[in-house]
Amino acid sequence: MAGFIEGVPRSQTVLFPERLEDWIGEDDLVRAVDLFVAELDLSALGFERATSARTG
């Protein structure tokens, strides 16, 4: 049916939380790794398409 978005059945369970961050503790080491990787200049390291296009 065009233009209609069907909802999620009530009986359907969710495998993961809506955000993975909900499972990670505030003092978890993975947060430091995430900050480190976010600060890397991926283009300078040779990664192609490291910057987003205008369209996202």
Mind listing the pLDDT tens digit for each residue in 7-53? 878 888 877 777 888 889 999 999 999 999 999 998 899 988 877 77
**pLDDT over threshold 70, residue 5:** yes
CA 51 vs CA 7, 10, 36, 41, 42: distances in Å: 35, 40, 17, 10, 8
Q: Which two tokens stand for residue 44?
A: 């300078």
pTM: 0.53
Q: Rounded to the nearest 5°, which phi and psi values hold at 38?
A: -65, -30
Angle CA(40)–CA(45)–CA(46) in degrees, nearest 5?
Answer: 135
pLDDT, position 16: 74
Residue 1: pLDDT band (50, 70, 90) is low
Instruction: Give residue 3's pLDDT.
Output: 73
